[in-house]
């Protein structure tokens, strides 16, 4: 499944803009600002490492940048953010890192990336690591807008939120160009009434970026070096600045756990819609939770309350019943899972196999048409095609130190309440009697049962009940004689 995205719309260009640099391959640099501490998350985890639909915030940003084929990514991080560094490198192995030791403002953060970026040409995109849902289409539109006009120094991504609160305001001049960005704390009452806000994302002509930034000072309400000041400075130097406008949901920033939960809602809604568009039936979409990488085939039916963890691929026509939890597994065509199935990492469920209620499968290959329908644990195992695993079967795969494998051949029948002590093999077509503890391999087509005898005592049950009834009556009689009241009956309600 792809990154969530919304189309941006160009604010100040009535005509469709043309890519002036078509034909050549212009340089695209991305600077991702992620040095913020994120104190409002109240977390030991770096803010941009928090996850939405199982993917880190910063990974969403790098994926969007990758989709537009940026040739250089520089992440500005605090000195201790090794986890962020590793995450960015995983998505963009050539990425460079700039360490911002003191948090002196967004302008200062970009200056920290100067050595990595200053010799480059083309356009630089400045993104925030905590604003994860920027779509590649919007970034492309911003690049196009800058490239289309040689006089354009900066293009800012704006949006018109329902509640503009303390966002920076975009002041548009009479020609429809961006005149300046005024930070909320520095804005006049009239400026605060402007609804068009700064998302923080910018596209800047790389050759001008550090020259403009060198003119930024910190004489403002926050005492910070504002990146946003480069707009006014560019204008004063004879350049123009533009705006591309995005949908509010695309530029939502994550500052606290409530924002994180809201973002999760947005992404889940998107993933559900995507699953349905691709031909899956979700009986009650709002109760199904996907991972960003879940892959569903056609005619998959997902009943209410199903959770997909990381790395799940489901082929066509699979029926996933309620309260099933699946992670790192492949489910082949026509299989039936649940209700209440737990499919753990490394599971490979074959065509038309059935995994029923309260069955846990881990690191097991279940071949075509095999059935494990009730109350079982099958881990580190191979279950051959058409095998039938009875209720309560357990593969005893762990001796407290190591894990061992269980092999069950094609067409084998495992009776209920069987314990398979791994490593062990049950041959093709073999039958294991109910309640057997299988210590040794069972040859193909053989029967395995434990030596347990069943004793029959004729009429015993009748005699037992009679004895119990007599005992009860005797006790009652003795109590009456002694004048002791029988146990008081429970009061009726």
| Active centre residues (catalytic) | 374
Pattern 17-56, ligand UD1, x by CB under 6 A: ----------------xxxx--------------------
Output 225 or 330, the one with its CB closest to ligand UD1: 225
Q: Does 129 bind ligand UD1 (CB under 6 A)?
A: yes
Output 116 or 183, the one with its CB closest to ligand UD1: 183
- Minimum gap (Å) between residue 317 Cβ and ligand UD1: 44
- Minimum gap (Å) between residue 235 Cβ and ligand UD1: 17
Q: Does 230 bind ligand UD1 (CB under 6 A)?
A: no
Q: Does 226 bind ligand UD1 (CB under 6 A)?
A: yes
Nearest to 269 by CA among 290, 255, 248: 290
Output 84 or 372, the one with its CB closest to ligand UD1: 84
- Angle, helices 82-91 vs 57-67, to 10°: value is 30
Q: Does 88 bind ligand UD1 (CB under 6 A)?
A: no
- Minimum gap (Å) between residue 124 Cβ and ligand UD1: 15
Q: Does 116 bind ligand UD1 (CB under 6 A)?
A: no
Out of 50, 108, 272, 363, which residue is the one contacting ligand UD1 (CB under 6 A)? Answer: 108
Q: Does 132 bind ligand UD1 (CB under 6 A)?
A: no
- Minimum gap (Å) between residue 156 Cβ and ligand UD1: 9
Q: Does 212 bind ligand UD1 (CB under 6 A)?
A: no
User: Which one of the spans 62-70, 223-231, 290-298, 393-401 is the region binding ligand UD1 (CB under 6 A)?
Assistant: 223-231
Nearest to 320 by CA among 388, 334, 375, 328: 334
Out of 4, 70, 76, 282, which residue is the one contacting ligand UD1 (CB under 6 A)? Answer: 76
Q: Does 100 bind ligand UD1 (CB under 6 A)?
A: yes
Count of residues touching ligand UD1 (by CB under 6 A) = 27
Do 179 and 153 touch, CB atoms closer than 8 A?
no
Q: Does 130 bind ligand UD1 (CB under 6 A)?
A: yes
Q: Does 209 bind ligand UD1 (CB under 6 A)?
A: no
User: Which one of the spans 13-21, 85-93, 98-106, 313-321 is the region binding ligand UD1 (CB under 6 A)?
Assistant: 98-106
Out of 92, 159, 167, 239, which residue is the one contacting ligand UD1 (CB under 6 A)? Answer: 167
Q: Does 168 bind ligand UD1 (CB under 6 A)?
A: yes
Output 112 or 355, the one with its CB closest to ligand UD1: 112
Pattern 266-285, ligand UD1, x by CB under 6 A: --------------------
Out of 56, 135, 198, 418, which residue is the one contacting ligand UD1 (CB under 6 A)? Answer: 198
Nearest to 307 by CA among 268, 358, 266: 268
Binding site for ligand UD1 (CB under 6 A): 33-36, 76, 100, 103-106, 108-109, 128-130, 167-168, 181, 183, 197-200, 226-228, 253
């Amino acid at each position: 499944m792809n990154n969530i995205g919304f189309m941006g719309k160009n604010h100040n260009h009535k005509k469709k803009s043309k890519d002036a640099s078509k034909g050549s391959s212009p340089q695209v640099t991305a600077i991702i600002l992620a040095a913020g501490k994120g104190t409002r998350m109240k977390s030991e985890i770096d803010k941009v490492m928090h996850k939405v639909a199982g993917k880190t915030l910063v990974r969403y940003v790098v994926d969007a940048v990758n989709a537009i084929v940026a040739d250089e990514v520089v992440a500005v991080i605090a000195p201790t953010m090794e986890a962020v560094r590793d995450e960015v490198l995983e998505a963009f192995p050539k990425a460079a890192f700039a360490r911002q030791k003191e948090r002196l403002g967004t302008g200062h953060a970009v200056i920290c990336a100067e050595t990595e970026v200053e010799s480059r040409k083309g356009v630089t995109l400045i993104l925030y690591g905590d604003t994860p849902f920027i779509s590649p289409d919007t970034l492309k539109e911003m690049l196009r807008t800058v490239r289309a006009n040689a006089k354009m120094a900066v293009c800012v991504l704006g949006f018109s939120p329902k509640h503009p609160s303390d966002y920076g305001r975009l002041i548009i001049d009479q020609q429809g160009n961006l005149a300046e960005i005024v930070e909320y704390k520095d804005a006049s009452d009239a400026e605060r009434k402007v609804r068009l806000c700064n998302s923080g994302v910018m596209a800047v002509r790389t050759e001008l970026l550090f020259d403009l930034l060198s003119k930024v000072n910190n004489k403002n309400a926050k005492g910070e070096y504002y990146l946003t000041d480069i707009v006014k400075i560019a204008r004063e130097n004879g350049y123009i600045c533009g705006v591309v406008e995005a949908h509010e949901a695309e530029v939502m920033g994550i500052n606290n756990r409530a924002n994180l939960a809201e973002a999760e809602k947005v992404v889940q809604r998107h993933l559900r819609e995507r699953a349905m568009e691709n031909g899956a039936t979700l009986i009650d979409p709002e109760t199904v939770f996907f991972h960003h990488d879940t892959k569903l085939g056609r005619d998959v039916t997902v009943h209410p309350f199903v959770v997909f963890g990381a790395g799940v691929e489901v082929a066509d026509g699979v029926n996933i019943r309620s309260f099933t939890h699946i992670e790192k597994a492949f489910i082949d065509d026509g299989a039936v899972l649940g209700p209440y199935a737990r499919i753990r990492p490394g599971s490979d469920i074959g065509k038309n196999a059935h995994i029923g209620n309260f069955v846990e499968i881990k690191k097991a290959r279940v071949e075509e048409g095999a059935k494990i329908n009730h109350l079982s644990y099958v881990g580190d195992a191979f279950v051959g095609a058409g095998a039938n695993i009875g209720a309560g079967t357990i593969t005893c795969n762990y001796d407290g130190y190591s894990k061992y494998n269980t092999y069950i051949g094609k067409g084998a029948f495992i009776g209920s309440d069987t314990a398979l002590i791994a490593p062990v093999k049950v041959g093709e077509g073999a039958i294991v009697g109910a309640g057997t503890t299988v210590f040794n391999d069972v040859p193909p087509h053989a029967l395995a049962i434990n030596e347990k005898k069943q004793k029959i005592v004729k009429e015993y049950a009748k005699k037992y009940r009679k004895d119990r009834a007599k005992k009860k009556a005797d006790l009652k009689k003795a109590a009456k004689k002694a004048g002791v009241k029988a146990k008081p009956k429970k009061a009726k309600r």
